[in-house]
Structure 1
Amino acid sequence: MAGHGGARNRSGPTPSPTSARSDARDVRAKKLTVGGYAGDFPPLSNFLPDGTEREGVVWASLWRTPQAGQWIKEAWRHRAVAMYVRWLVRAEDPEATAATITAAQRLADQIGMTPAGLRENGWLIVDDDATTNPEQQQKQEAVRQSHGAARTNGGGRRMRAVPDGEG
């Protein structure tokens, strides 16, 4: 019987790139610009030699998303993106089975095309200005530092210890 115990994908809470604990462990989300990727990308025929015209259209549109800027740096993802294209096009069919739609959804998660997939990959889509504007970066760093270790009651007021019997 296989599959006993051990860590599993998505088990437990995912690290929050905005928490003080993640800052302490230097866990930061990779920022992807909302403008998307504008560079060259590999031809679909490298991965799906029998690709259809619709698959080619979907492939080209995916390579203009913010996630594509990360895929191009990680060639090992290209095949997963191609498989996502194939299963997504199949899932578009009104007669598609639940298994086909599930396969497309799982691949979407793997390549970061869903909110859960973005979190799983440690990616965050941000305004183009937020990644290149030094003033914006300084503001973000100041907010991170001011909220770093302070514990608050949720209303912004800092929590403090009270003497025994007064709480």
Structure 2
Amino acid sequence: MARGGARARSGPAPTSTDRSHKAKANAEGWTTLPADGRDGPLPAWPLISPSDRELDLWERLWESPQAVMWETLHLDFEVASYVRLLVRAEAPRSSAIIWGQVKQVAESLGLSASGMARNRWTVASVNDDSDQSTPQAAVSPVADLAARLKAVSGE
């Protein structure tokens, strides 16, 4: 077991609630992502033999605000691995271990509120005409629960 030193998840999560100005946010190391998401062509799927579900999730994820940073950081493979893992977790009788891995990868990609805070990302207000931005939690682009349950039951 590791000893001493800082750990990525130790201590309180960074907070952006006391920020009221973009310049201050950027000075503190926070990145403001565009509310309308990433523009541009869809990156090529980097893994072999994608399913229709994987391609659908891939397309939806690359339209999210977080995708701006994924593109900058060249995280195509990591996003594809997340998509493949998520599709595997959606399968009937998938294990809790897989769901735990999905949660962990989603957080590292900034797809959860805690992941956004850990990465020091915030989403700009939709009507951001002024110099102020209100931090918003990331919304997972995964289909809602009712749709997933219908898919599993075959309706």
**Range class of TM-score, shorter chain:** 0.7 to 0.9
Which ranges in structure 2 are unaligned for 5 or more consecutive residues?
Answer: 134-155
Q: Deviations over 1:69-124 (max 9, x none)?
A: 1211111x221111110111111112110011111111100110000110011111
- Cα drift, residue 37 of structure 1: 1.3
Partner of 1:129: 127
- Cα drift, residue 18 of structure 1: 4.3
Who wins on radius of gyration, i.e. which is larger? Answer: 1
**2-side partners of 1:95 and 1:15: how far apart?**
36
TM-score w.r.t. the length of structure 1 is: 0.69
Counterpart of 1:53 in structure 2: which amino acid? D
Residues 35 and 127 in structure 1, CA contact (< 8 A), matched pair in contact too? no
Runs of 4+, deviation exceeding 3 Å:
17-20
The number of aligned residues is: 129
**1-side partners of 2:32 and 2:4: how far apart?**
33
Residues 14 and 118 in structure 2, CA contact (< 8 A), matched pair in contact too? no
Counterpart of 1:119 in structure 2: which amino acid? A
Partner of 2:146: none
Identity over aligned residues, as a percent?
33
1:1-167 matches, cutoff 5 A: 2-19=1-18, 23=24, 26-44=27-45, 47-75=46-74, 77-130=75-128, 133=129, 136-137=130-131, 140=132
Greater RCO (Cα-Cα under 8 Å, separation 6 or more) = 2
Which ranges in structure 1 are unaligned for 5 or more consecutive residues?
Answer: 142-167
- Cα drift, residue 24 of structure 1: 10
TM-score w.r.t. the length of structure 2 is: 0.74
**2-side partners of 1:25 and 1:69: how far apart?**
16
